[in-house]
Amino acid sequence: MAQEKKTSLPWSEAFRRTRRVMGIWWRICPNWFWATGLYDALTALAPYVAVWFSARLIGELSGGRNPETLGLLALGALLSGALLTLAMGAAKRWRDYENQMSRLAYKRLHQDKMLDMDFVTMDRQETADLYSQILQNVNWSGKGLLEPLVSLEKLMTALVRILGGVGLSVTLFLSSVPEESGMTWLNHPLCVLGVLAVLLLGAVTAPALYNRGDAYWVKYAQSILYANRAFSFYGYTVSTQRGRAEDARMYRQREQVSDPLLEQTGEFGPHSLIARWARGPMGACFAASQSVSAVLTGLVYGFVCLKSWAGAFGVGSIVQYVGAITNLFLGLSELLEGLGELRVNAEDAFLGTEFRFLDLPHEMYRGSLTTEKRADRQYQVEFRDVSFRYPGTERYALRHVSMTFRVGRRLAVVGQNGSGKTTFIKLLCRLYDPTEGEILLNGIDIRKYRYEDYIALFSVVFQDFQLFALPLGQNVAGAASYDRERARRALKDAGFDRRLETMPQGLDTYLFKDLDKDGVEVSGGEAQKIAIARALYKDAPFIVLDEPTAALDPMAEAEIYSKFNDIAGDKTAVYISHRLSSCKFCDQIAVFQDGAVVQTGTHEELLAEEDGHYYRLWNAQAQYYVNNKTKGDRQERL
């Protein structure tokens, strides 16, 4: 439950944060400023031009009634109106386009940060929470990095309005009521000051009340966090994402999980905190703000009409003065509202969260040594007494692992689920740094190499690899323009050649239907082959397969692995599998158990150790496959 607390951010800090935001926008989307500035200037100017011409026209109609002047004024009003509308239309298009661009630039900013941060930082729950809070703020109240753009626009319009309003209303206060009207008190400086004071007071009170109402969002941001996350996950992701559709139906996740959950949080119903605030203090603030504005407009009308009635100016000027003052008043309100919004937006809950995300530091040391592109591919990696704990956990996922990857050899890493195989690979690819011990590349600690250089040495097919809804060839090459022959060869080596022949557009066939209605849906096994082809195309000195063949049957898996042995050529290859039979052909097998390497050797050597872990695993699996095979045979006979 949110605590009622007053906004406490000092103005100076709010401005400092907002200035930083503007700096970011100026860097990532400079044209937005020009487009919006032009559009706002024109929009703010237009009413004054209309008001000015209308006033002159009415004045002339009620006074001189000179046809020539009237004609000129009418023409001026028409032409200026037409030109301004045209210019505004063009400027609006440009502004709308830049607004879209700013949304894209905003997404890119986050994506770039995500990709640039250390994997270990990205993998943390706190980082995921931070990012999801940013998205929720944007969806829920629009607050964060985007809102200052909206507020700035408001401020720009407000300033032009104020300047125009002052310019067109000065004479209202300067023009005197004639003696004979008997209302000369209207000329008295105190009367003028009094009216000005009331107007100013109203102009300050209305936005202040508005801002007070707006500040309830800050108080609510924390309270809604959980409900929003649950809503977007169960209300959107679960029910609309294709990969989740089966589970969502079979387990009736919406009725059984999401509806009760949302009911339980109660944040979207009529009894939620924000709904109660809206009916109570928050709504009252907004309503009071509107009322003050309405009362003030009435006052302005009263004052202007009274002065005109007393003979200070003609009827025509009433339009001008009322228009000018209403706009001036609106401008002042918008100025204060905009400033208030900026302050609320700069709070820790909004801009503070954005900055915490953007300022996440690089924790991993990144050296500057280059790996030199060695033609002989003589890259040798050694794990020296490496232990590792995932951040925030007490248990060691790896314990005292020492191992050398001999150049050009095939290493199999086997072990039961949770024994540390994937963790081992993540350390090898420097997604994490060891907690203890070190990893060396050609005798030098891998931290001393340039990060990009080091990871470029690896082609990895992870368990949860992802393909894009792009043409097959681009998926394989990981680029829009690529060597088609090389892509074809990689697909052939990965065992995809026969399927490639059936693809309607060959390498140009889109995978999935997201971007092309003729796109092809590939099966899990086919997707894995494409992922393997991608690793082959990269042609890095190390090739790592982390159980990428889970969707294949044991025979197909064994086939891929043994074939891979030939394809891998002079590369150093690492295979991870819990199916021991798939890795029989490797030069060396490392057996993992509870984060430690408990045995190493060839398949034959390891089988010879009858009290070893490998022997036990092998027998357990052999039994399983024999049983399954018998079952299969029996079914075939039936």
Check binding of 260 to ligand ADP (CB under 6 A): no
To which residue do tokens 């060597």 refer? 483
Cα distance between residue 97 and residue 101, in whole Å: 6
Those residues with Cβ within 8 angstroms of residue 47's Cβ, 6 or more apart along the chain or in another chain = 164, 323, 327
Check binding of 548 to ligand ADP (CB under 6 A): no
Q: Which is nearer to ligand ADP, 3 or 125 (CB)?
A: 125
Query: How big is the CA angle at 464 (ends 460 and 467), to the nearest 5 degrees?
Result: 80
Contact string (CB under 6 A) for ligand ADP, positions 122-141, x = contact:
-x------------------
Question: DSSP for 304-341?
Answer: HHHHHHTTSS-HHHHHHHHHHHHHHHHHHHHHHHHHHH
Contact 144, 353 (CB under 8 A): yes
Check binding of 417 to ligand ADP (CB under 6 A): yes
Which whole-number Å values give the CA distances from 521 to 46, 240, 469, 518, in the listed order? 55, 18, 10, 10
Find the farthest-apart pair of alpha carbons in the chain and give their distance in angstroms, rounded. Answer: 123
Check binding of 390 to ligand ADP (CB under 6 A): yes
By CB under 6 A, the count of residues binding ligand ADP is: 12
Check binding of 419 to ligand ADP (CB under 6 A): yes
Query: b vs e for 74-110, b when ≥16 Cβ sit within 10 Å of the residue's Cβ?
Result: eeebeebeeebeebbeebeebbeebbeebeebbeebb
**Binding piece for ligand ADP, criterion CB under 6 A, among 23-31, 188-196, 343-351, 415-423:** 415-423
Q: Shortest gap between Cβ of 614 and ligand ADP (angstroms)?
A: 15
Which whole-number Å values give the CA distances from 470 to 115, 509, 510, in the listed order? 20, 8, 5
**Binding piece for ligand ADP, criterion CB under 6 A, among 109-117, 285-293, 421-429, 496-504:** 421-429
Contact 320, 54 (CB under 8 A): yes
CA 599 to chain CA centroid, Å, is 45
Q: Which is nearer to ligand ADP, 416 or 505 (CB)?
A: 416
Check binding of 13 to ligand ADP (CB under 6 A): no
Q: Shortest gap between Cβ of 404 and ligand ADP (angstroms)?
A: 20
Check binding of 559 to ligand ADP (CB under 6 A): no
Q: Shortest gap between Cβ of 403 and ligand ADP (angstroms)?
A: 15
**Binding piece for ligand ADP, criterion CB under 6 A, among 298-306, 345-353, 414-422, 597-605:** 414-422
Cα distance between residue 591 and residue 419, in whole Å: 9
Neighbours of 187 (CB within 10 A): 19
To which residue do tokens 């819990």 refer? 578
Among 47, 207, 415, 548, binds ligand ADP (CB under 6 A): 415
Check binding of 418 to ligand ADP (CB under 6 A): yes
Check binding of 393 to ligand ADP (CB under 6 A): yes
**Binding piece for ligand ADP, criterion CB under 6 A, among 180-188, 338-346, 410-418, 604-612:** 410-418
Q: Shortest gap between Cβ of 142 and ligand ADP (angstroms)?
A: 33
Check binding of 421 to ligand ADP (CB under 6 A): yes
Check binding of 434 to ligand ADP (CB under 6 A): no
Interface residues with ligand ADP (CB under 6 A)? 123, 390, 393, 397, 415, 417-423
